[in-house]
Amino acid sequence: MSEEQIVELSLEQITDYEFRVRFDGTALPDLATDESAPLGRDAGPNPSRMLLTAVANCLAASLLFALRKFHNAPGALTARARAHLARNAAKRWRIAQMEVDLQLADPAAALQNIERVLAQFEDFCIVTESVRAGIPVAVRVRDGTGAQVHASATTA
C-alpha cells in the first residue's frame, strides 16, 4: 500500500508577471511572486529563487532532523545557496546547477554520530532528491570551526 500526500496552492495574477500565491488548506499567509526586472517589477521572488529557496531550506531542515534524530541539540544552522543559470541548446534559460553550503554552529567533534548524520541527511530532503532528477545539486557542510565536514557529488 503506497502512501500519498497532496500539497496544493493557487496562483492569481495581480499585474503583469506578479502573482499572489495561496497555500490552499493552510493558514499560511499569501506570498507575492514576480519576475525580475526588466520583465517584472521584483515585487517578490521569481520561480528560480523559489526553487533555490526550497532546496536550501529542505536541506537545512533535513540536516537538523538528522542531528536531532541522534540526540544532538545543535546551535542555529545557516545556509547559502547559488543557482547557476545557463542557456541550453535551444538558447533557453535553465537552472544548470545548484550549490548549497550549510553551516553548523558546533564543531563536528561535539556532535554525536556526526558521520551517520552526514551520510544520511540528504536522503531525508524531499525537494533536493526530487530536483536532482534533472538538476545537479552540490551540497557542502561546514562545522562551527569552519572545517568542511561533508561534500556530496552532484547527480542529474
Same-domain pairing of 4 and 23? yes
Residue 18 is part of which domain span?
1-45
- Tell me, yes or no, whether 146 lies in a domain: yes
Mean pLDDT of the chain: 95
- Tell me, yes or no, whether 156 lies in a domain: no
53: left (phi over 0), alpha (psi -120 to 50) or beta: alpha
Which of 28, 45, 62 terminates a domain? The answer is 45
In DSSP terms, 81 is beta-bridged to 100
Which of 14, 29, 45 terminates a domain? The answer is 45
Residue 135 near residue 156, CB atoms below 8 Å: yes
Report pLDDT digits (tens) over 4-61: 999 999 999 999 999 999 999 999 999 999 999 999 999 999 999 999 999 999 999 9
Dihedral sign (CA 105, 108, 110, 114): positive
Same-domain pairing of 41 and 104? no
